[in-house]
Amino acid sequence: MVLSELLEAVRATPGSAPMRRRAGASLTRVANARRIGLLAVFLFASLFYAWTAASAGDRAEFFAYPDYYAQLSEGFLHGELSIPTPAPKGLVNLANPYNPVANAKYRVNFGDLALYHGHLYLDWGPTPAITLYLPWHLLHLGTLSGNLAIWIYSVVGLAAALALLYALVEAFLPKTRAIWVVLIGAAVAFGNGVPFIDREPDIYEVAVAAGYCFSMLGCYLLATGCLLGRWRPKRLALGSFCLGLAVAARQDLLVLGLLLAGALVFAWRKRHAGEQGSLGTPLRAAMILLAPFVAVAALLAIYDFARFGSFTQIGASYQLAGFNPRSTPYYQLSYLAPSWYFYLVSPLHWSLTFPFISIPQPIAPIGVPPAYAPEIIGGIFSQSPILLSLLAAPLALRRRLPSALRTAMWLSLTTGFVIVTAIALSIPGGSERYVVDFATLFLIPAGLCWLAWTPRRRLWRIVVRGAGTLLICYGVVAGIAVSITGYYDQITFTQPGLYQDLTSATNGVGDLITSLLGHPVLTAIDTSAGITDQTSWDSFGVGDVIYMNISGNPANLEVVSPGRGTYDLTMSVGPGPQYSAAGNSPIYLEVRDASGTYRFRYHNGTVNLPLRLRGGDNHALLSVVVPGRNLPSSDSILSCSGLRLDNAKGSPRPFYSH
């Protein structure tokens, strides 16, 4: 209906028939350019996703246990809801098999599975097993790897997301230039968190990728089934079914039911207003929009009841994890504030070494509960700052878009925020992978806001387009950068040659930045003795090191310097956990830098250790030496904190050369 109205408006444009034909031809050329541009984004992103998944290495390289979804599909074929591998008798016979200390040796092979009544179950949704692993097995296509499964779901989900963006722009912003739509498509493809999960071949990411795939398919079918001019009952029913499959992959996506409720209200209002093309009676509309979703959710509840005797138990309470699930509190309001911060605004960290942008260790600006233990998480507004265009939504949407689309956009944003809240409540910590659950629900409305925001004055239009372009480009670069390292930097040993080549080719960036800063930067510390570091978002290096042990095994300090000179490595030093191993012998700190090897006598307190650097990349080694004693390399004799590099002032030092 809306599309037909737009076409009718084109036909009714004042002027001669040739002018109207030329206007229509112009819109067709723009539409074709948008289509080709988004197709190019899709192909490039798909290839990048493929390289990321392939270079992540095989699951077996990082985990002792096999692909659980392959085992689950095998169990389904034999009429079982558990995996075929039996639980070890030693694990079952433990007084408390959920005690992380008692079950530690069993978690090597069965980590994060749910143990219930002697059987091992997955506490991840069954959608991947049903929609991909089982058909793959039945078609005799060989063994399906987690890498390939993640890539398939990622590509299909991206295709649906870009198709949704294209359909909405064609219907409601048909005069938008192709370049701006292509930029939004790139923001969706690389700012949605999908490249990050493609780096991990683990089961968590397979479940997340499946949820993303079916949620995007559902959103596309819903939007094209009711927003673009006429109602399409088959699309709406299929969209509802896809959203149900998304829930069966990731149960926090049950919140997607809000989209169906919104579509139902929209259908009721259309019928109440007497408009043609409605879904008919309220009962028929409810059956079309809600029945498939409810049916899948009901089957999922029955599936859980058959496994754990509860319609709402997914297995989290019986998980073999590094914590005791029986005593860990879930659904705590105290989890909300830190999780909102981490998922929405937690900043990224800029560094001087490739890939230059990473996700730092989580540092909450407020206190967190004792059980709250997050993995790395980057705030979606920090990773994709084009979302800041949502702040201009009242100006951007007031006149340019129909009320139905405005309502749908607000509903998408609300659904995304409720998903964040559901994740925050259900997980005492969280992880970057879960950004995928809600990122696209924010990105597409934000992109439409930016496209619709066209100030009357030419100067302001240039400012809006220019600022948005810069924000999108940063988000694309950030999305690619954090996907290269992932959680564990595994590319450094799956493709070490490529990683080293990229690092060497970009060394000049760090040299340039340190030249502008005018001082060296401590970029990394590699030590086997143990370190708790605070990688601050506002530092190009490691930030303030809270606590680091120093042993006989040298710690490698990586430094980028603007030029040759001597600098003070300042730190506070005191006894370490194995300080007594030195006995009464004198203790020395040994430094190996660009000029040679030096030893300094240990005394408690703040010290200024001279470090001689040359321009560019430097590697300095710091270790403990106790003459006459052969210390185990792992013994932490000394501990230090507050490491930083200062300009050498030539002041007396509390160390003396040996």
Per residue in 293-309, pLDDT (tens digit) is: 999 999 999 999 999 99
Residue 12 has a pLDDT of 36
CB count in 10 Å sphere of residue 32: 11
Residue 170 has a pLDDT of 93
Rounded Cα gap, residues 609 and 313, in angstroms: 57
Q: Which residue has the higher pLDDT, 72 or 492?
A: 72
Per residue in 486-524, pLDDT (tens digit) is: 988 888 888 888 888 888 888 888 888 888 888 888 888
pLDDT above 90 coverage of the chain, percent:
46
Residue 653 has a pLDDT of 42
Whole-Å CA distances, 633 to 581, 619, 626: 12, 20, 12
Is the peptide bond preceding residue 369 cis, with omega within 30 degrees of 0? Answer: no
Q: Is pLDDT above 60 for 656?
A: no
First to last CA, the chain: 86
Lowest-confidence region among 4-13, 20-29, 83-92, 163-172: 4-13
Contact 658, 599 (CB under 8 A): yes
Mean pLDDT of 111-120: 92
Per residue in 176-211, pLDDT (tens digit) is: 999 999 999 999 999 999 999 999 888 999 999 999
Q: Which residue has the higher pLDDT, 38 or 544?
A: 38
Q: What are phi and psi of 477, to 5 degrees?
A: -60, -45
Cα torsion at 154, 158, 161, 163 (round to 10°)?
-140
Rounded Cα gap, residues 553 and 542, in angstroms: 20
Residue 417's identity, in one-letter code, is F
Q: Is pLDDT above 60 for 31?
A: yes
Residue 59 has a pLDDT of 57
Domains in the chain, ordered, with CATH? 2-58+144-485 (no CATH), 506-647 (2.60.120.260)
Q: What is the pTM of this model?
A: 0.88
How sure is the predictor about 7, in pLDDT bands with cuts at 50, 70 and 90? very low
Residue 617 has a pLDDT of 86
Lowest-confidence region among 217-231, 465-479, 548-562: 548-562
Q: Is pLDDT above 60 for 654?
A: no
CA 369 vs. chain centroid, Å, equals: 23
Average pLDDT over the chain reads 86
Alpha helices in 489-637 (DSSP H): 491-494, 496-505, 507-517
